[in-house]
Structure 1
Amino acid sequence: MRIVPAIVFLALFLGLNAWISWNGSLFWEEVLPASFIQIYWAVYAILAFAYIASMLLRKLLPYWGYSTLKVIGSYGLAILFYSLLLVPAADLIYGLLRLAGFGRNSALHTAGWFASGMLALLIARGSWNAWRPIIRRYDIVIDKKAGRFRELRVAMASDLHLGNIVGKRHLKRLIRSVETIQPDLILLPGDVLDDSVEPFVRQNMAEVMRELRAPLGVYATLGNHEYYGGHIDEYAQRMKAIGIEVLQDQTVNIADSLYVAGRKDKTAEALQGGRLPVTELLHELDHSKPILLLDHQPYSFDKAAEAGADLMLSGHTHRGQMAPNHWITGRLFELDWGYLRKHAMHVIVSSGFGTWGPPIRLGSRSEVIDIRITFQG
């Protein structure tokens, strides 16, 4: 049964690329020497099919070849996505100019340069947003005592997506951002890996990751992409070896003052073993102490609040990553990014530190969250 959706997807993918590349050829044939048109078609073909080729040929290609194709193809996906918006706009501009009495060449040049220029600006700006993380601060009050702590500074980074595209260079930016925050506690609510653990190992990302240090520890939880990769046990062991505990439906008592609880990702609900209901996970805890809950996908805030969580931290949405996708995530999730108060519980959903697919962000930023908690009880 899976072959039918695959055929439909492939037909749609080929059709859209044929339409976009044909529109582009009309313009570039006018502005480029005839000898360069073949180069246009070759470049377009590489950008359009590199990502799919990397997936299909993964087991046949050397690692560097697979990785190179995936990176090139990721930018190709961004170009396809925004071309689907810009080509109709360019066609409309061309039609209006022709109706206004402009000649074919003049109208074609205007519409073509508009689409090409806008595409270049969007990719450039999107790359800047993806590779230049910001620190976003939230100040919250939890109406409980936390032992000797009156205040707590937490650094949170979700959706690192470490892999072939997001690597050690961007990971070092995370280290610098966290050092700026000087947190008491570091929390990573899921999708630390993009999928496979292989790039993490091959590029020795643990060497950089081990620099994440905080007096009260560093804790992570699973996201859907760790499940997609299928190397959860190895990933958890490698993280533990560098001092980062991956919580899988587990809780940790921090300095006998507060708790950190980490859920398995929602993906686990469809797998053998499933995941614990949040009420069961938090049931045995001392609810007079603050409870910080890591749950990768931002669902069921009501249940988490009723179970006794005081702060829920999530990611997953990327806030759509590339506008106008944020219009979709805004409708799919009660909170797709930012802060929400749900009963007595605080909720923070991050747009994430890394990227999935194209390393492009428009309508969102790569971010690290600085949470300042004041305890009053």
Structure 2
Amino acid sequence: MKSIVPFIFLTIFLGIITGAVIYLTHRFNWYFSIPYTRMLYPVFAVLALFMMFGVFTTANSVSLAGHIIYILAAMTMGLMLYLLISVILTDILRLFTGFKPLTYGLIVVILTLVINLAGTLNSWNTKVTHHTIPIKGLTQTVRAMHLSDVHLGHFRGKRFLHKLVSKTNAQNPDIVFITGDLFDGRYRLSKKDLQPLTDLNAPVCFIEGNHDKYTGVQTIKNMLRELGIQVLENNMTGFKDLQIIGLNHMAADDQTFNVHTQNGHATIKSTLDKLSPDKSKPTVLLHHSPDGIKYASKHGVDLYLSGHTHAGQLVPIKYIAALMFQFNQGLHHYSGTTMFVSQGAGTFGPPIRLGTISEISLLTLQPEYLQAE
């Protein structure tokens, strides 16, 4: 059953794309009185194919041509999504109004452009969110900065990372946790683009994400180590009172299907069983995706930090993500373990956020007794 799940999703996705092409063709024919409906079918079909294949075939391209294709395809993805939504919203508007077809067409075009512009500006406006989390057994407050899903690549590079470092230093953290997807592709895969990390005024722990794997995870880890970043690979380290566990990106257990991991490899369950962390110590677990919390809880993990979901990144995908992930964004509690899921600092695909924010988070970890006072 697990092996056919990707094909089921692919079939549904292609069905939605096909329906969208037909729907948009008929609407634009009506809006602008195009004499031959068939003329628009190939236009929307080509745009749909370009956005899909352009993004996925050039994500790791390092050539200028590949870079341009990726940017155009990703932007087309955003335009097509909100063009479709704008047409749907305009159809609802038609139930209450009686404008000419051309007026509805102009509303669609303007609404699509405004939504894309607003979403693009929002995605570059990285916010610092603040959360106070009580930790059992902690004897002193620890200010931890959590970064996830930076996605350096075709849209973001050294300048963006420098901005994140400046915002992080401004919060004066004791330690920085980076929970994967530092890279989105190989276009900016260089130590030069990572150089801003050396300006951080606190020690840094890094664990991989699925996009780091696609990009070249060992290359990334080697560069980070050369820059003085502590890379955790299914092992533990310590900081002040904290026991810190860093896991590679993996499925929760052997029974869980995860499109971003490989069957037959280590799982959160098996790795935590092998590491056997000290349950008497206040413990932080770093893993890219918010999976396997029951195994974290079983091993006495107090705080589980992850990202991966982007909180869906875009309306309406954020609502689909909320159904796909048990923990999609923010703080959650499960049987003695606190889970924090970052919405991510960067974006995947179109550089747009709508209904979500780009965030880095200051987590003030306090001794539990302070919360009781």
Q: Secondary structure at the match of 2:218?
A: helix
Match of 2:315 among 304, 307, 323: 323
2:226 to 233, 241, 254: 241
Residue 263 (str. 1) matches residue 247 (str. 2): yes
* Counterpart code for 2:319: W
In structure 2, runs of 5+ residues without a counterpart are: 252-259
Task: Indicate the residue corresponding to 1:369 in structure 2.
Answer: 361
Equivalent position of 2:200 in the other structure: 212
Bigger radius of gyration: 1
Deviations 1:158-208 (A, max 9, x none): 1111111222232222112101211100001121121x3x22325831222
* 2:290 aligned partner: 298
Offset of residue 242 of structure 1? 1.1
Q: 1:110 to 1:140 in 2, by over 3 A?
A: same
Cα deviations across residues 317-355 of structure 1 (Å, max 9, x unaligned)?
Answer: 111110122222222222211111223222111111110
- Which residue is equivalent to 2:214? 228
- CA deviation profile, 1:231-268 (whole Å, cap 9, x unmatched): 2211111111112222121111224x322111111258
1:367 deviation in Å?
A: 0.2
AA paired with 2:156?
V
Task: Find the aligned partners of 1:87 and 1:6 in 2 and give their Cα distance.
Answer: 24
SS in 2 for 1:153: strand
CA contact (8 A) 2:32 2:101 kept: no
Comparing 150-159 and 257-266, the one that deviates more:
257-266
Aligned-partner Cα distance in 2 for 1:68–1:56: 13
Amino acid at match of 1:191: D
1:302, distance to aligned residue in structure 2 (A): 2.3
Distance 1:29 1:168, change over 3 A: farther
- Candidates 168, 187, 200, aligned match of 1:199: 187
Change (3 A) 1:17 1:282: same
**What is the correspondence of 1:142-181 to structure 2 with a 5 Å cutoff?**
142-146=135-139, 150-181=140-171
What does residue 254 of structure 2 align with?
none
- Of 112, 129, 141, which aligns to 1:136? 129
The alpha-carbon distance between structure 1 residues 47 and 71, as it changes in their structure 2 partners (threshold 3 A), is: farther
Return 289-298 or 361-370, whichever deviates more: 289-298
Is the contact between residue 53 and residue 69 of structure 1 (CA under 8 Å) also seen in structure 2?
no
**TM-score of the superposed pair, with normalisation by structure 2:** 0.82
Aligned residues of 1:338 and 1:350 also touching (Cα < 8 A): yes
- Aligned AA (1:219): C
Change (3 A) 1:321 1:8: closer
Match of 2:63 in 1: 63
Q: Residues 27 and 208 of structure 1: is their aligned pair in 2 closer, same or farther, counting only changes over 3 Å?
A: farther
Contact 2:279 / 2:299 at 8 angstroms: preserved in 1?
A: no
Rounded to whole Å, the distance in 2 between the matches of 1:66 and 1:343 is: 47
Name the SS of the counterpart of 1:253 in structure 2.
strand
Q: Which shows bigger deviation, 235-244 or 43-52? A: 43-52
In 2, the alpha carbon distance for the partners of 1:158 and 1:252 equals 19
Alpha-carbon shift at residue 47 of structure 1 (Å): 5.7
**Is the contact between residue 290 and residue 306 of structure 2 (CA under 8 Å) also seen in structure 1?**
yes
Distance 1:341 1:331 in 2: 18
Bigger Cα displacement from structure 2, 155-164 vs 199-208: 199-208
Segment of structure 1 superposing worse, 347-356 or 298-307 = 298-307
Q: CA deviation at 1:219?
A: 0.8
Q: Do 1:191 and 1:222's aligned partners in 2 also have CA atoms closer than 8 Å?
A: yes
Worse-matched range after superposition: 347-356 or 297-306: 297-306
- Do the aligned residues in 1 keep the contact of 2:250 with 2:261 (CA within 8 Å)? yes
Partner of 1:34: none
Matched, 1:185 2:171: no
CA separation of 1:275 and 1:243: change in aligned 2, threshold 3 A: farther
TM score, norm. by length of structure 1: 0.81
Matched position secondary structure for 2:118: helix
